[in-house]
Chain A
Amino acid sequence: MTVGTVVGSPVDESVLDVALPRGEPAQALRLAGELSDTADRLLAVAQGAARLLPVAGWSGIAAAAADRRLLEVAAAVGAERSRLQHAAEALRGFGHALGTAVDRVAEARALLATARRVQDEADARDRALSVGLASGQWAGPRADGRFTDPDAVLLLARARDLARAARAVADRAAARLVEALTALSGRRVLRDGGSWRPLLDVAGLVPGYGDALDLGSAAVYGARGDWWDAAVSGAAAVPGPIGWLAGATRAGRAVDHVGEVARVVDDSPRGRAVTAFASVPTIGRRKHVRLLADDAAVDRFWWDVLAPLGALVARDETCQAHDHERRERRAGAHDHEELTRPDVYCGDCEHRRRRQRRSRQNREPLAGQPLLGIRVRLRQLDHRRMQGRRPPEDGRDDEEEVDRVADLVPAVE
């Protein structure tokens, strides 16, 4: 693969009838590598945070809240790592595709050079043509630069096919990259394109009809509340130098702005939350927007990050319920004072305890609950189970799914 900038010569592009693709595939691949490295470091951070998760065993509201928040943040870090990994893959695919396009452009150039050489040799064989071309007075078949030798024409056709293929590959790769990254970031950058407004402004310079157009533009801008633009368009409708100056200034400014970033549409969850939050009237200090990791992110985090770490909630040696059972069997009674911790359970007991607590929580209103997504999903799964239905999206057993998701809900006292 050729690595380096493809600088399409305007001469080449005019001969090949296509705008040759440009870009640095090596840069795209390098950024992909950097993003992958960052994703790996994020995984280490997420796993480090996950190792602190047994905070759930601590007593007290603060510990429970810390546990919940830590789970959310660790899951969000895991989601961020996933996003960077997908972005790196998209960039890697783009880099390889752009490299292919660059290779094809190089082949097209080589073919074009060969075609030129073949045509030059053919010209050299035709003495009258070579003398005429050298004198600059030639008006025959090669005067416009078109190839006439059959071999040169064939080579040129192949070069054009390759150049068009390269353009298509680069365009498709760029479109795929934009689609993938926009889906990942939720942000779309809109640039100021050649809209009809500059055309109207230019047309407004025409005496007579142009004044009517300017008045129409002023009315449209006024109706939209763009008072400054309405005033300038109105001034452009004034006959004479004032109108010309206003119209020319306006048209020039519009042309200057073509290609600049006009707007960034933020459809990401954070962007939507910020917008929604800003629309809520508040009194006093406004808190920053805090995003919870969604259900899917926590699921992914569980399988990608927590599961490889092993038994995170294994607390057999300090399980309260087991201690109780052992002491009951041994002495017929248990001593609360001897318990190492008031609310530490092994995985099995913790699981039972959480399910009991969950059935209690499900009867409570959900509003304001943390990890709302998980709780809502639990309710949905419970409902489906009560209805005797299976989840339609996958074939996993409901019971297994409820148990798995239940384990994600931290202990709440």
Chain B
Amino acid sequence: MHLEVTSHALVGTGDAVRRAAGRLDALGLPAWAPDCGDLAAEDAVRALLDVSAESLADLARELRSVAVLVDVAAADFARAEARLSGGTST
């Protein structure tokens, strides 16, 4: 019997998703607005940076929740592995 994907690989996937979330957190979006000589333009730059920062924080949180789902999937798959290899399902 040959398994293309193992539950161990799935655990690694969960970690990879967490690393991706960490990379989003550590992205270092610029937090300064240039001197545009125009107040409205500087406000617009700050607003865009704020929106992007909030969006990236949301996405990092989403990725962490995906990692939890992957962990659950890994547990599911470990049970399937045990069943296919003749072991007992837990």
Q: Which residues of A contact B (CB under 8 A)?
A: 5-6, 21-24, 27-28, 30-31, 34-35, 38, 41-42, 44-45, 48-49, 52, 55, 57-60, 62-63, 65-66, 69-70, 72-73, 76-77, 80, 83-84, 87, 91, 94-95, 98, 170-171, 174, 177-178, 181-182, 184-189, 191, 259, 261, 264, 268, 270, 288, 290-291, 317-318, 337-338, 340-342, 344
B16, B37, B51, B73: the one within 8 Å of A170 (CB): B37
B35 / chain A contacts, CB cutoff of 8 Å: 5, 22-24, 27
Nearest B residue (CB) for A188:
B47
Q: Which residue from chain A places its CB closest to the CB of B71 in the assembled complex?
A: A62
Cβ contact within 8 Å between B43 and A59: no
What are 13 contact pairs spanning A and B, CB under 8 A?
A: A21-B37, A24-B36, A69-B69, A76-B55, A84-B52, A87-B52, A174-B38, A181-B48, A259-B39, A270-B55, A290-B62, A340-B2, A342-B80
User: Is A55 within 8 A of B43, CB to CB?
Assistant: no
Structural contact, B63 and A73, CB atoms closer than 8 A: yes
Instruction: Give every chain B residue within 8 A of A23 (Cβ-Cβ).
Output: 34-38
- Contact flag A66-B41 (CB < 8 Å), given A58-B77, A73-B59: no
Kindly identify, within residues 6 to 50 of chain B, every residue whose CB is under 8 Å from any CB belonging to chain A.
10, 13, 16-17, 20, 23-24, 27-30, 32-41, 43-48, 50
Minimal beta-carbon separation of B69 from chain A (angstroms): 4
- Given the interface pairs A70-B17, A187-B47, the reply to whether A28 lies near B34 with Cβ below 8 Å is yes
The 7 tightest CB contacts between A and B, nearest first, are A23-B37, A27-B34, A189-B43, A66-B69, A63-B73, A174-B38, A22-B37
When distances are taken between beta carbons in the complex, the residues of chain B under 8 Å from A268 are 51
Chain B residues lying within 8 Å of A24, measured Cβ to Cβ, are 34-37
Q: Which residue of A lies closest to B30 (CB)?
A: A34
Q: A31-B45, A83-B52 are in contact. Are A38 and B27 (CB under 8 A)?
A: yes
Q: Which of B24, B46, B48, B72 has a CB less than 8 Å from the CB of A77? A: B24
What residues of B have a CB within 8 angstroms of the CB of A41 in the complex? 23, 27
Residue from B10, B27, B44, B51 in contact with A177 in the complex, judged by beta carbons closer than 8 Å: B44
A38 touches B28 (CB 8 A): yes
Residues of B within 8 A of A63 (CB): 69-70, 73, 76-77
A178 is contacted by which of B17, B40, B63 (Cβ under 8 Å)? B40
* A185 with B47, Cβ < 8 A, contacts A38-B29, A94-B36, A98-B36 known: yes
Task: Give the distance to chain A from B3, nearest Cβ to Cβ, in Å.
Answer: 6
Pick the contact of B76: A5, A28, A59 (CB < 8 A): A59
Q: Is the CB of B20 within 8 A of A48?
A: yes
- What's the interface size class on B, roughly? 35 or more
Instruction: Give A265's nearest chain B residue, CB to CB.
Output: B47
Q: Which residues of A contact B10 (CB under 8 A)?
A: 58
Given contacts A59-B80, A66-B69, A187-B51, contact A28 B1 (CB under 8 A): no
Question: How many Å lie between the Cα of A366 and that of B55 in the bound state?
Answer: 26
In the bound complex, CA of A73 to CA of B58 (Å): 9
Chain A min CB distance to B57 (Å): 11
Which of A52, A80, A170, A270 is the one whose CB lies under 8 Å from B38? Answer: A170
Query: Bound complex: CA of A367 vs CA of B19, how far in Å?
Result: 33
* A261 CB to nearest chain B CB (Å): 7
Given that A55-B13, A184-B48, A188-B47 are contacting pairs, would A6 and B58 also be in contact in the complex, using a CB cutoff of 8 Å?
Answer: no
Q: In the complex, A373 Cα to B75 Cα: how many Å?
A: 31
Question: Out of B3, B17, B33, which one reaches A340, CB within 8 Å?
Answer: B3
Please state if A189 and B44 are interface contacts (CB–CB under 8 Å). yes
The answer on a CB contact under 8 Å between A261 and B44 is no
Say how far A303's CB is from chain B's closest CB, in angstroms. 20
- Select one of B44, B59, B73, B75 contacting A80, CB under 8 A: B59
Q: Are B37 and A6 in contact (CB under 8 A)?
A: yes
Evaluate contact between A42 and B27: CB separation under 8 angstroms.
yes
> Is B36's CB under 8 angstroms from A62's CB?
no
For the complex formed, measure the closest distance between the CB of A72 and the CB atoms of chain B, giving whole angstroms: 8
Determine if A318 and B63 form an interchain contact, defined as CB atoms under 8 angstroms apart.
Answer: no
CB–CB B4/A340 < 8 A? yes
Contact of B13 among A52, A188, A189, A342 (CB under 8 A): A52
Shortest beta-carbon distance, B32 to chain A, in Å?
7
Distance in angstroms between the alpha carbons of A244 and B3 in the assembled complex: 87
